[in-house]
Amino acid sequence: MKTKARILFGLALLAQQSTLALKMQSASSATEGAPACNDGDVRISPSSTLNAGVSMYPQVCRDGKYFDICGHYFWGNDNGATTFCKKLGFNSGIRDLPNSRKRHDGETAEAVWVGECDVGEELNQCTLGHRTDDSFYTTEPTCTQDYYKTRKPNYHPSIPVICDGGSSWKRDSAPAPAPPPNAGGDPHLLNIKGERFNIHRMGYAPLVSIVSDGAAHLEVMALIDGMKKCSKKMYITDVNSSGSWLEKSIAVSVARAQETRAFSVMVDGQEVWSPQTPVNKGYEPPTTEKTIFNHADKFVINEVTGESQPGIEVKTAHNVKMKIVRPLYRANVPPHLNFDIQGLEQLSPSFKLGGLLGRDDHSYWSARDQDCGGSFAEEPQNLEALIEGSIASAH
């Protein structure tokens, strides 16, 4: 009998939506024509390296588009630099005056006039430095590249900043965009590099590895399984996590089809939770957060709230969160798990991010086993097929 399992990894956790088609239509309507950013959102320029103690070019959003920050009056104090840096997870910031107007990184972004900021003011609402309330929306003449091309060809209106402190840094402050409303036709694993691909091998696959100075802080392995060897359809059935950030091992295993429980959660080999959720009776999600397990301020396991299927969220160091859920959309689909990890993009560059959802090569796992004859079936292009399989993603 052919297996009903398929591993389909994707950009969004489609199985987290109780009425997936309706959610997708809503997401499509909400994101149509939406700006890439909102006034006052900030980021470092694409060519800048995110790190503490280094010179970075700040950019601020105006009318849905990012601009460099013009040094005109912004150089009057460090308040604006501190506001910018705090939005990206740092503790403080200063102007890099020695490198002001000396931008030579190949970018040609126009600069917007922020002006001189008072303590705590948003960058689109700074009140010091001879900037009127609405001048943020009209580029000041001395902040244009044309001005410098004709008067000071070796200069640029932008001013860099240097950020310091903090730990969970990020490149921009804008909220993450909503997932695409339709994942049809796309591979269904999304790693931190933005690569999307499918898995075509069974076994324990390394999803995530976070290491620094030779110490393994977080290791996540997922069991990819099918009904038999060389199955064209596979699932995630187990997710095992360990490392110094946890100090204990966490194992989540999906229940068999004939069992009334959804899955089992074990910490160091001892079961701590096993929700009784028969598929044919539906699922009642909790309305308030419920803590399942808490370990010495290292990590906490909470039951997922407000979702259409049972699941857990593991919160650990550096605001890294792992969500593991059991989809319940179809009774005739073999039991499986979905996995999502958030917070990787905000980690310090000192951490090495590996695994299939990190920066490691995925060619082995995305290639078909040479011992298996024939070719794998084409991936489904319709919504009905997409909700049948496992999904994993990293942010």
Q: Check whether residue 283 and residue 207 sit in a common domain.
A: yes
Q: Check whether residue 131 and residue 229 sit in a common domain.
A: no
Q: Is the model's pLDDT at 159 over the cut of 50?
A: yes
In a domain, 146, yes or no: yes
Q: Is the model's pLDDT at 292 over the cut of 60?
A: yes
Point out the domain boundary residue: 164, 191, 219. 164
Q: Is the model's pLDDT at 319 over the cut of 80?
A: yes
pLDDT band of residue 174 (cuts 50, 70, 90) is: confident
Quick one: pLDDT at residue 256?
Answer: 79
Q: Check whether residue 386 and residue 287 sit in a common domain.
A: yes
How large is the average pLDDT for residues 153-176?
A: 78
Q: Provide the domain limits for residue 291.
A: 14-18+183-394
Q: Count CA atoms closer than 13 A to 19's CA, side-chain side.
A: 4
Q: Check whether residue 215 and residue 355 sit in a common domain.
A: yes
Q: Check whether residue 152 and residue 275 sit in a common domain.
A: no
Quick one: pLDDT at residue 186?
Answer: 29
Quick one: pLDDT at residue 391?
Answer: 77
In a domain, 130, yes or no: yes
Q: Check whether residue 239 and residue 106 sit in a common domain.
A: no
What's the domain count of the chain? 2
In a domain, 23, yes or no: no
How large is the average pLDDT for residues 68-93?
A: 90
In a domain, 216, yes or no: yes
How large is the average pLDDT for residues 210-223?
A: 94
Distance CA 360, CA 353 (A): 8
Distance CA 253, CA 330 (A): 19
- Of the two residues 49 and 269, the one the predictor is more confident about is 269
Q: Check whether residue 268 and residue 148 sit in a common domain.
A: no
Q: Which residues are paired to 264 by β-bridges?
A: 253
In a domain, 27, yes or no: no
Q: Check whether residue 132 and residue 205 sit in a common domain.
A: no
Q: Check whether residue 373 and residue 254 sit in a common domain.
A: yes
Q: Is the model's pLDDT at 194 over the cut of 60?
A: yes
Q: Check whether residue 159 and residue 192 sit in a common domain.
A: no
Question: CA geometry: angle at 194 spanning 188 and 198, to 5°?
Answer: 25
Q: Mean pLDDT check: name the lowest of 14-18, 33-37, 172-176, 348-352.
A: 14-18
